[in-house]
Chains A and B, each alone.
Chain A
């Protein structure tokens, strides 16, 4: 048979399928909105000080707390600091910590999950029991105790959350690996004499990645809220830092003078966490579509 005939005949139906998916899974308004919010937050995290209309830490004790005005769109807090500027700059701690947690947990989880799932045996038992053990710990409570007792602030909290969230990734990746391991394409690779390490990382991992990435977005959203909660309790960033959780905590007494001191960081927190979830779902669908077979 000629290859070109085969090409022409088979390209038709596949292209159709793909087009159908594109229509169904295209950018819905919700995804577009979520993407815009995520991009805006990332821009603020990178270039916050440059964008902010005022120095976020410049105090103006003479003004003190004030409501929204043309000079301060979201008003000022009790030290006369610009709420809008602080919210913009606060994006940095809101993004950096969760990003580290998500990536760290994904790295550890993928490594342990792939090895445990592929090798099986004692290694699998050890990894799984370890994951169960850590899984059983209430993450936030452990973080509160450790950071409260040991101290160390934000980055100790981040490191703790990496360890405490990684069992979720480990379990997910392990079970996805178990499914892939018995697929004929993996067995064919084994029969070809490809070394296990290469099978795991070059052949199997790309097929597990979509679910790992999707979960990383979830971890990210969880950690935004967790780190903000720690900051709220005074266990995260240092006092005076522009941070959403910290701002929420500081604004408790200011609610009746300028409600935006609480609303601005609160809304930013909720919108970011929700948007990251939506974007995560979307990325997962896109990724798992790539290799769709039937």
Chain B
């Protein structure tokens, strides 16, 4: 295969310093490669640098050769001709990537020209839009006349794909094309890209943070970390035997779907800025095998087997230790049998106008139990959480906490409301908005203990205790949220929710916004808290692998109804309901059939 795209020594920097350091990358015609990295790795900017779409103030040097042309030396005018026509970019967020005021059909045909280079006539554009939509699996031509807000996330992502493919590019760069989507939709979109690619012989660069997606979709994978390329290999080889401690760490902190493991191996700390680790191995500050040689200079990638490069200097010595073995652990069993449930929900219903978010949900949470609630977006799982803590008022059914009817929080006496809050607390999803940006961590936590701790001294002692409980030093009390990483913020949010010493903690997607290596830290923390404090959980997530690690019983929510409940292991091992089966089938797998086209 001849190289179609050849990146050599790509260096991306802004005024604040280096973002990507000396990156090499090859893409052959028809090949699929993956650029995998956590937040701050520089993966998206690398993709944008290739087609000259870096934001102002960010510059790239080095060499990007595409089909015998040097792109970094190409004028903006010529690049514009190249974009879309030769190399197309598909962006992550289906909700903002389409112009909200333009009909879908026009967004797709906007760049298409006829043989004479003229815009298409109105009727030709209609025909073209319909056929392009059909190619991405939308067979209703009326969709072309709709506005983006009238479409679901998955539909928008399809339209985005159709628009990216409009000028028949030779390379498609897909930047997290499925991240914002539900698992079932994710599989459809990936399948769609794959089938289009097979039909056209197009090359694809998939940029993702999700190793499972990369393994299932890509032939070769580049592992990027803090602006440095750490390892590259074929997907199969990488999955079988990682040859860099970072890749190894990623694979061991990624919870498997197939079994429960005793403890996930979390990588300590969080991802540094590229600039902060220049002149040493980028992973050295977090590496368990680090030696002085790793810190002396930035190690270069070297070939240790065909198609297999690693930047680890000590790989010869440590390779045998880099084994990904996650020994299965015994299933968590509901231990609290016979104990009165803390939370009892019966026939809970909540409607917004004519639409039902929840429709007859019943479940119990016993003290110390860990109950999972899985469902896709719109299934009503967050509404259920909000009803439990009084942020929404249910329109039907009963919620009881410790035997008290708390269906309507506003109708409770102050004491009852206090007791309910002492029993059940909540951790929200987004670590960025969950803390008050104008206040210090110490203020936020001391506010939460105001009711229980009188006096300044006692409050400050409680704050220190809470911080230690979630593995943070007391110095964090003086910091504002902006100075914290995502994982640290989520720890603070957990500390806040523990201030009233609740019996049950509702975790609404607590790790879905975090990097994989940090996600494992938080999951382990929740496990520890369960053992130390006897804390029970209602764990709400869309991620089946996560749910298998942390819960004993599971409820599958679909369109506001529980379609299946039972022990977690049993449901994931032998799902009874069709919807549960389709959820499980949607988790990325690295076998050839996962992305095979569905039989018509």
Q: Is the interface of B mostly helix, strand, loop or mixed?
A: loop
- Please report the number of residue pairs spanning A and B whose Cβ atoms sit closer than 8 angstroms: 137
Identify the stretch in A26-34, A119-127, A183-191 within 8 Å (CB) of chain B at 4 or more residues. Answer: A183-191
CB-based contact A294/B432 at 8 Å: yes
CB-based contact A293/B391 at 8 Å: no
Q: Is the interface of A mostly helix, strand, loop or mixed?
A: helix
Q: Which residues of B contact A207 (CB under 8 A)?
A: 436-438
CB-based contact A9/B472 at 8 Å: no
CB-based contact A14/B428 at 8 Å: no
User: Chain A interface: which size bin?
Assistant: 35 or more
Any A CB within 8 A of the CB of B430: yes
Nearest CB on B from A81, distance (A): 50
CB-nearest residue of chain B to A192:
B448
A4-39 contacts to B (CB < 8 Å): 4-14, 16-17, 19-20, 23
Nearest CB on A from B543, distance (A): 20
Q: Which residues of A contact B266 (CB under 8 A)?
A: 1
Any B CB within 8 A of the CB of A138: no
Any A CB within 8 A of the CB of B296: no
CB-based contact B437/A291 at 8 Å: yes
Complex Cα gap A209–B500 (Å)? 30
CB-based contact B484/A16 at 8 Å: no
Q: Which residues of A contact B493 (CB under 8 A)?
A: 188
Complex Cα gap A2–B521 (Å)? 11
Any A CB within 8 A of the CB of B390: yes
Any A CB within 8 A of the CB of B421: yes
Complex Cα gap A188–B487 (Å)? 18
CB-based contact A5/B268 at 8 Å: yes
B337-363 contacts to A (CB < 8 Å): none
Binary interface profile of A, 174-203, with partner B (CB < 8 Å = 1, else 0)? 000000000111011111111000100011
CB-based contact B16/A192 at 8 Å: no
A178-236 contacts to B (CB < 8 Å): 183-185, 187-194, 198, 202-203, 206-207, 209
CB-based contact B269/A9 at 8 Å: yes
A291-B480 contact given A1-B521, A6-B487, CB 8 Å threshold: yes
Complex Cα gap A188–B432 (Å)? 13
Of the candidates A3, A5, A20, the one having the most CB atoms from chain B within 10 angstroms of its own CB is A3
B365-423 contacts to A (CB < 8 Å): 389-391, 417-418, 421
Complex Cα gap A207–B482 (Å)? 14
Complex Cα gap A251–B121 (Å)? 69
B426: which of A1, A4, A188, A202 is its contact (CB, 8 Å)? A188
B contacts with A, residue count (CB < 8 A): 59
CB-nearest residue of chain A to B275:
A16
Complex Cα gap A9–B282 (Å)? 11
CB-nearest residue of chain B to A191:
B389
CB-based contact A292/B433 at 8 Å: no
Q: Which residues of A contact B433 (CB under 8 A)?
A: 183-185, 293
Q: Which residues of B contact A12 (CB under 8 A)?
A: 272-273, 275-276
Nearest CB on B from A146, distance (A): 39
CB-nearest residue of chain A to B418:
A193
Q: Which residues of A contact B16 (CB under 8 A)?
A: 16-17, 19-20
Any A CB within 8 A of the CB of B496: yes
CB-based contact B500/A192 at 8 Å: yes
Of the candidates A13, A187, A292, A293, the one having the most CB atoms from chain B within 10 angstroms of its own CB is A13
A9: which of B285, B429, B444, B482 is its contact (CB, 8 Å)? B285
Of the candidates A12, A183, A187, A203, the one having the most CB atoms from chain B within 10 angstroms of its own CB is A12
B482: which of A7, A19, A198, A293 is its contact (CB, 8 Å)? A293
CB-based contact A9/B272 at 8 Å: yes
Q: Which residues of B contact A209 (CB under 8 A)?
A: 438
Complex Cα gap A60–B112 (Å)? 83
CB-based contact B437/A189 at 8 Å: no
CB-based contact B447/A194 at 8 Å: yes
CB-nearest residue of chain A to B271:
A9
CB-based contact B473/A3 at 8 Å: yes
CB-based contact A290/B496 at 8 Å: no
Nearest CB on B from A153, distance (A): 41
Any A CB within 8 A of the CB of B196: no
CB-based contact A1/B268 at 8 Å: yes
CB-nearest residue of chain B to A14:
B483
Binary interface profile of B, 302-318, with partner A (CB < 8 Å = 1, else 0)? 00000000000000000
CB-nearest residue of chain B to A190:
B391
Complex Cα gap A1–B268 (Å)? 5
Q: Which residues of B contact A293 (CB under 8 A)?
A: 432-433, 437, 481-482
Complex Cα gap A14–B482 (Å)? 8
Complex Cα gap A203–B276 (Å)? 34
Complex Cα gap A10–B496 (Å)? 21
A191-B425 contact given A12-B275, A20-B16, A203-B447, CB 8 Å threshold: yes
Any A CB within 8 A of the CB of B439: yes
Complex Cα gap A23–B417 (Å)? 49
CB-nearest residue of chain B to A210:
B438
Q: Which residues of B contact A292 (CB under 8 A)?
A: 437, 482
CB-based contact A5/B269 at 8 Å: yes
Complex Cα gap A278–B447 (Å)? 36
CB-based contact A10/B500 at 8 Å: no
Nearest CB on B from A3, distance (A): 4
Any A CB within 8 A of the CB of B435: yes
CB-based contact A188/B500 at 8 Å: no
CB-based contact A11/B483 at 8 Å: yes
Nearest CB on B from A180, distance (A): 9
Nearest CB on B from A189, distance (A): 7
CB-based contact B269/A16 at 8 Å: no
CB-based contact B436/A185 at 8 Å: yes
Any A CB within 8 A of the CB of B567: no
CB-based contact A16/B438 at 8 Å: no
CB-based contact A6/B439 at 8 Å: no
CB-based contact A6/B421 at 8 Å: no
Any A CB within 8 A of the CB of B21: no
Any A CB within 8 A of the CB of B175: no
CB-nearest residue of chain B to A4:
B473
A13-B272 contact given A1-B521, A3-B472, A6-B488, CB 8 Å threshold: yes
Complex Cα gap A8–B425 (Å)? 31
Any A CB within 8 A of the CB of B17: yes
B267-281 contacts to A (CB < 8 Å): 268-273, 275-276
A206-B439 contact given A4-B473, A8-B285, CB 8 Å threshold: yes
CB-based contact A10/B417 at 8 Å: no
Nearest CB on A from B68, distance (A): 38
Of the candidates B266, B447, B451, the one having the most CB atoms from chain A within 10 angstroms of its own CB is B447
Nearest CB on A from B128, distance (A): 39
Q: Which residues of B contact A4 (CB under 8 A)?
A: 473
CB-based contact B434/A3 at 8 Å: no
Q: Which residues of A contact B444 (CB under 8 A)?
A: 185
Of the candidates A13, A188, A290, A291, the one having the most CB atoms from chain B within 10 angstroms of its own CB is A188
CB-based contact B473/A193 at 8 Å: no
Q: Please name the 4 residue pairs, one residue from A and one from B, whose CB atoms are nearest each other, closest first.
A: A291-B437, A12-B276, A13-B273, A206-B438
Given contacts A9-B285, A192-B425, A194-B447, 15 further A-B contacts (CB under 8 A): A9-B271, A10-B488, A13-B40, A14-B482, A19-B16, A23-B15, A184-B428, A184-B430, A191-B391, A193-B417, A193-B421, A193-B500, A209-B438, A292-B437, A293-B433
List 25 A-B pairs, Cβ < 8 Å.
A1-B266, A1-B268, A3-B472, A3-B473, A3-B475, A5-B286, A6-B488, A9-B286, A12-B275, A16-B16, A16-B273, A184-B430, A184-B434, A192-B447, A192-B499, A193-B417, A193-B421, A193-B451, A193-B500, A194-B448, A203-B436, A206-B436, A290-B480, A291-B482, A294-B432
